[in-house]
Amino acid sequence: MAITGEHEALNAGEIGLSEAGPGDYFALLKPRVMSLVVFTALVGLLIAPGDVHPFIGAVAILCIAVGAGASGALNMWFDADIDAVMSRTASRPIPSGRILPGEALTFGLVLSAFSIFTLGLLVNWLSAGLLAFTIFFYVAIYTMWLKRSTPQNIVIGGAAGALPPMIGWACVTGTVSWESFVLFLMIFLWTPPHFWALALFKQGDYGKAGVPMMPNVAGVESTKRQVFIYAIATALVGVLPYWMGFAGLVYGVLAMGLGLGFVWYAFRVLRMPPEDTSMKAAKSMFGFSLIYLFGLFATLLVDGFIVSIGA
C-alpha cells in the first residue's frame, strides 16, 4: 500500500516529463506538410516498374510517413528558439511549453531509428539508406546548418523534400534511375517558389527570428525575380516525364496546363507593385504551389493507371 502512495506522489512534472497529450506528439510530426511529402512517395512507389506485395507497399509508405514525421519532430526540437519568436510557429508544442525539448528529441530519434530499420528489414536497404539520408539532410544539413547561415538554405535544403518519391521508387525497384531522378527534380525546383512565396508575406517573422530567408537578405524585388525563374524551370521539368516516355499524353497535357498556371501565378508575383504590402499575389502563389504539386503527382498516378489498363 505504501508503494502505491509513493507512486501517486510521482506526477509527470516530478519525474521530468511534461503533461503532453497524443495531439501534441502528433503536431510534432508536422502532419499537414508531411501529408503531401508522403503522397509524392506513394506516387513514386505506385508508378515504379515492377510489382510489390500490397502489404510490403503499405509497410514502405508507413515507414516513410513515420520517418518524415520524425524529421519534423527533430526540426522542431532544434528550432524551438526561433519558433518561439515567430507568430506562425509560436504555438507549436515546444515553444508553448506543452512538450519538453528532450521529449521531442527522444521521440524523433526513436521514430527515425524505427522507420529506417523497419524499412531496411522488410523492404530493402537502399530505400532505408535513402530515408536515413533524407532525415539527416533535413535535420543536420538544412535545419542545423543552412537555415541559419545562408539565403540559399531552401534551395539546397529542398533536396530533402524532393527525395521521398525516389525512396518510394527504390522500395519497388531496389534502384535509383533517371525516371526517379526526374521526380526528384520536379520537387527540387518547385521548392524555392513554394517557399519564397510564403517568405514574402512572412518576411517580418523571419526578420524577427534572424533567419536569413531570401526576401530579408536579397530584398523583395530580387526574390520575386527568382520565384519567376524557378517557376519556369519547374514548369519545364514538369513535362519531362511525358517527353522521356514514362508518362502518357494525359499527363503531358495536364502537366503543361498546371505548369502554365504556376508560371502565371509567379508572373503575378513578379508584377506586384513594390508599394503593395498586402502580398495578395504571393499568398495565392503559395496556395497554388500546393495545388500544383498535388495535381502533378495525382496526374502521374491517374495517367499510369490509364496506361496500365490500356496495355
Binding site for ligand FPP (CB under 6 A): 30, 33, 37, 64, 67-68, 71, 75, 79, 89, 131, 134-135, 138, 147, 160-161, 164
Distance CA(62)–CA(211), nearest Å, equals 33
Q: Taking CB under 6 A as the rule, does residue 84 contact ligand HEM?
A: no
Per the structure block, which three cell numbers stand in for 46?
Answer: 505506385
Site string for ligand HEM, 120-149 (x = CB under 6 A): ----------------------x-------
Nearer to ligand FPP, 86 or 247 (CB): 86
Place of cell 535535420: 139
Binding partner of 67, given ligand FPP, ligand HEM, none, CB within 5-8 angstroms per partner class: ligand FPP
Site string for ligand HEM, 169-198 (x = CB under 6 A): ------------------x---x--xx--x
* Nearest approach, Cβ of residue 202 and ligand FPP (Å): 9
Backbone angles phi, psi at 273, to 5 degrees: -65, 145
296-300 long-range contacts, Cβ below 8 Å, gap at least 24?
Answer: 296/186, 296/238, 296/254, 296/255, 296/258, 297/39, 297/40, 297/43, 297/165, 298/39, 298/43, 299/250, 299/251, 299/254, 299/255, 299/258, 300/43, 300/47, 300/241, 300/247, 300/251
By CB under 6 A, which span of 17-25, 78-86, 153-161, 275-283 interacts with ligand HEM?
A: 153-161
Binding partner of 134, given ligand FPP, ligand HEM, none, CB within 5-8 angstroms per partner class: ligand FPP
By CB under 6 A, which span of 98-106, 150-158, 171-179, 246-254 interacts with ligand HEM?
A: 150-158
Nearer to ligand FPP, 249 or 290 (CB): 290
* Nearest approach, Cβ of residue 165 and ligand FPP (Å): 10
Distance CA(152)–CA(214), nearest Å, equals 7
* Nearest approach, Cβ of residue 82 and ligand HEM (Å): 12
Place of cell 530505400: 127
Instruction: Count residues binding ligand HEM (CB under 6 A).
Output: 18
Identified binder of ligand HEM from the candidate list 95, 108, 157, 259, rule CB under 6 A: 157
Per the structure block, which three cell numbers stand in for 91?
Answer: 504555438
Per the structure block, which three cell numbers stand in for 183?
Answer: 521526380
Residue-wise DSSP of 159-226: HHHHSHHHHHHHHHHSS--HHHHHHHHHHHHHHHHHHHHHHHHTHHHHHHHT---HHHHT-HHHHHHH
Nearer to ligand FPP, 114 or 267 (CB): 114
Element (H, E) at 103: helix 101-122
Q: What angle do CA 37, 143, 283 make, to 5 degrees?
A: 55
Q: What angle do CA 219, 78, 60 make, to 5 degrees?
A: 100
Q: Taking CB under 6 A as the rule, does residue 36 contact ligand HEM?
A: yes
* Nearest approach, Cβ of residue 164 and ligand FPP (Å): 5
Q: Taking CB under 6 A as the rule, does residue 293 contact ligand HEM?
A: yes
Q: By CB under 6 A, name the binding residues for ligand HEM.
A: 32-33, 36-37, 40, 88, 142, 154, 157-158, 161, 187, 191, 194-195, 198, 290, 293
